[in-house]
A and B are shown apart, each in its own frame.
Chain A
Amino acid sequence: MKVELNVNNARASVEVEPRTTLVDCLRDNLGLTGTHTGCEHGICGACTVLLEGEPVRACLMLAVQADGYAITTIEAVAPAPGELSIVQDAFCETHGLQCGFCTPGMVLTAEALLRRIPDPTRADIVSAISANICRCTGYGQIVEAIALAAKRLAGSNLPRQVVPGEPA
């Protein structure tokens, strides 16, 4: 089936089988391999992408269901090639990642949380990332990273934009 997708504010026309999940389509048809394939049944959160700015599992959605929605992947988070977003930078600084497998999902979850709740409590942060499994860090530094990113975003003069193309 032919599907018209809107990924990272760019139109893409792909030919997929109905059974192709969104994560497989992003990786195999569009070459966006930053979205990771983990458990493929909705448990681990490695395949998290933003759909209209909210985190969803790309393994729990078929590509044919996704036409017309604004999809954001980790590739769209950095402001420019070679640079990091404030959230990504905070993950580096606090050692919020080791192997990096869960990191794209964690970063997108954090971006969506901070957009909805700019000044999250620790409980807000823990609740937001509770749907994403990390087997390296023990989560402590990830919570720290998101808290640091919130503080830096509050003090930054950058436009508050996560979904490309949406007004800040």
Chain B
Amino acid sequence: MKPAPFDYVRPASIDEACAALAVEESVVIAGGQTLIPILAMRLARPARLVDIARIPGLAGIREEGDAVVIGATTRQVEAERSAVIAARVPLLARALPFVGHAPTRNRGTLGGSVANADPAAEIPLVLVTLGGVVVVHDGRTTQEIAAQEFVLGPMMTALATGALVVGLRFPVWPDRRIGVGFHEVSTRASDFAFAAAAAQIALDASGRCTKCTIGIGAATPRPVRRDALATKLIGSTLDDTDIRAGVADAVAELEIMVDSHASPDYRRRAAKALAVRALTDARDAARGVPV
């Protein structure tokens, strides 16, 4: 379990990093919590690692208008303990404890999780669910790519050669009565999920749903939003029967991942149950019922 040899460079700026990444067989290392096991198992043998972890300005959490922007190399533990994330992006705060386990969150980064695009990863699921954006720099220009268009499939993204994820933009809902829910199922705590669901809703003063978003991950090759379901639930009072009926339809048409870990039938049933739970939690939290 030793990686094959590679070169190691540590660029001082984003532009230097992009130049280094334009050289063939170069890969980014930030926290390394996924990359190093892949190297140790020799599933990949890159010629060169480009370490972006210490580039000034790439880490940090800042509020920007109606969004919170998280720098690519911000460690997961920092977001987990951030008061800004807890108050402004509660769905991310709810999901972060499910990401790996504490020692990997101490090193793992948010940008790395999205750039890696593991179907079971929680952070891309939250970003897709909220309609967030991946900020990418290619050495010349900075581009914003909708998360849903960025994550293309298992470990596949729209990131071009020589381009670098520099940040994630999470939309903030200004609504007063917001609730979130996040559920996943895995063999053991901290292991890869078989299915996951994330939901965020807003209620008006009368308890009617004014905004709703629901995302499914892990069961699917990439995280997906169920916008037709959200549209159906907006305007309702989110009764249990509304949620159950809507979720059943939304899950029936999902493209489910096939692999040796869990059967497609199981993943679909799990996704359905978890989506119901996530929406129910979100509704109850917005109503002020302790979850």
Q: Which residues of A contact B (CB under 8 A)?
A: 1, 17-19, 21, 24, 39-42, 45, 48, 51, 54-57, 59-62, 64-65, 109, 127-128, 130-131
A19 contacts B103, CB within 8 Å? no
B33 contacts A42, CB within 8 Å? yes
- List, in ascending order, chain B residues with CB within 8 A of A131's CB: 101-104, 190
A54 contacts B106, CB within 8 Å? yes
**Chain B residues bordering chain A, tally (CB within 8 A):** 28
B37 contacts A61, CB within 8 Å? no
Kindly identify which residue among A1, A18, A41, A64 contacts B41, using a CB–CB cutoff of 8 Å: A41
In whole angstroms, how far apart are the Cα atoms of A131 and B106 in the complex? 12
**Is B6's beta carbon under 8 Å from chain A?**
yes
**Is B51's beta carbon under 8 Å from chain A?**
yes
- List, in ascending order, chain A residues with CB within 8 A of B83's CB: none
User: 19 other contacts beyond A54-B106, A65-B32, with CB at 8 A cut-off?
Assistant: A1-B8, A18-B49, A19-B3, A19-B5, A19-B39, A21-B2, A21-B40, A40-B1, A40-B2, A48-B103, A51-B107, A55-B102, A55-B106, A57-B33, A57-B103, A64-B51, A65-B29, A130-B189, A131-B101
A60 contacts B49, CB within 8 Å? no
Q: Knowing A18-B8, A62-B8, A65-B53 touch, does A56 contact B107 (C-beta < 8 A)?
A: yes
Closest B-chain residue to A18, C-beta based? Answer: B8
- List, in ascending order, chain B residues with CB within 8 A of A64's CB: 8, 51
A130 contacts B190, CB within 8 Å? yes
Q: Which residues of B contact A (CB under 8 A)?
A: 1-8, 29, 32-33, 36-37, 39-41, 49, 51, 53, 77, 101-104, 106-107, 189-190
Task: Report the minimal beta-carbon distance from B82 to chain A, rounded to whole angstroms.
Answer: 15
In whole angstroms, how far apart are the Cα atoms of A17 and B39 in the complex? 14
Sample of 27 A–B contacts (CB below 8 Å) = A18-B5, A18-B8, A19-B6, A21-B2, A21-B3, A40-B1, A40-B40, A41-B41, A42-B104, A45-B103, A51-B106, A55-B102, A55-B103, A55-B106, A56-B106, A56-B107, A57-B33, A57-B107, A60-B32, A60-B36, A60-B107, A62-B8, A65-B53, A109-B103, A127-B102, A128-B102, A130-B101
A62 contacts B36, CB within 8 Å? yes
- List, in ascending order, chain A residues with CB within 8 A of B5's CB: 17-19
In whole angstroms, how far apart are the Cα atoms of A134 and B40 in the complex? 22
Task: Report the minimal beta-carbon distance from A89 to chain B, rounded to whole angstroms.
Answer: 24
Q: Knowing A18-B6, A19-B2, A130-B190 touch, does A41 contact B102 (C-beta < 8 A)?
A: no
In whole angstroms, how far apart are the Cα atoms of A109 and B6 in the complex? 31
- List, in ascending order, chain A residues with CB within 8 A of B6's CB: 18-19
Closest A-chain residue to B36, C-beta based? Answer: A60
Task: Report the minimal beta-carbon distance from A114 to chain B, rounded to whole angstroms.
Answer: 14
B36 contacts A61, CB within 8 Å? yes
- List, in ascending order, chain A residues with CB within 8 A of B41's CB: 41
Closest A-chain residue to B10, C-beta based? Answer: A64
- List, in ascending order, chain A residues with CB within 8 A of B37's CB: 41-42, 60
Task: Report the minimal beta-carbon distance from B37 to chain A, rounded to whole angstroms.
Answer: 4
In whole angstroms, how far apart are the Cα atoms of A120 and B54 in the complex? 33
Task: Name, among A17, A18, A59, the residue most crowded by chain B CB atoms within 10 Å (CB to CB).
Answer: A18
In whole angstroms, how far apart are the Cα atoms of A127 and B80 in the complex? 15
- List, in ascending order, chain A residues with CB within 8 A of B103's CB: 45, 48, 54-57, 109, 131
Closest B-chain residue to A54, C-beta based? Answer: B106
B40 contacts A41, CB within 8 Å? yes
In whole angstroms, how far apart are the Cα atoms of A54 and B106 in the complex? 7
B32 contacts A61, CB within 8 Å? yes
Task: Report the minimal beta-carbon distance from A58 to chain B, rounded to whole angstroms.
Answer: 10
In whole angstroms, how far apart are the Cα atoms of A65 and B106 in the complex? 14
In whole angstroms, how far apart are the Cα atoms of A1 and B9 in the complex? 11
- List, in ascending order, chain B residues with CB within 8 A of A51's CB: 106-107
- List, in ascending order, chain A residues with CB within 8 A of B190's CB: 130-131
Task: Report the minimal beta-carbon distance from A67 to chain B, rounded to whole angstroms.
Answer: 10
- List, in ascending order, chain A residues with CB within 8 A of B4's CB: 19
Task: Name, among A21, A62, A109, A128, the residue most crowded by chain B CB atoms within 10 Å (CB to CB).
Answer: A62
- Which 7 pairs, one residue from A and one from B, show the smallest C-beta to C-beta distance? A18-B8, A40-B1, A131-B101, A41-B37, A19-B3, A54-B106, A55-B103
A42 contacts B36, CB within 8 Å? yes
A61 contacts B1, CB within 8 Å? no
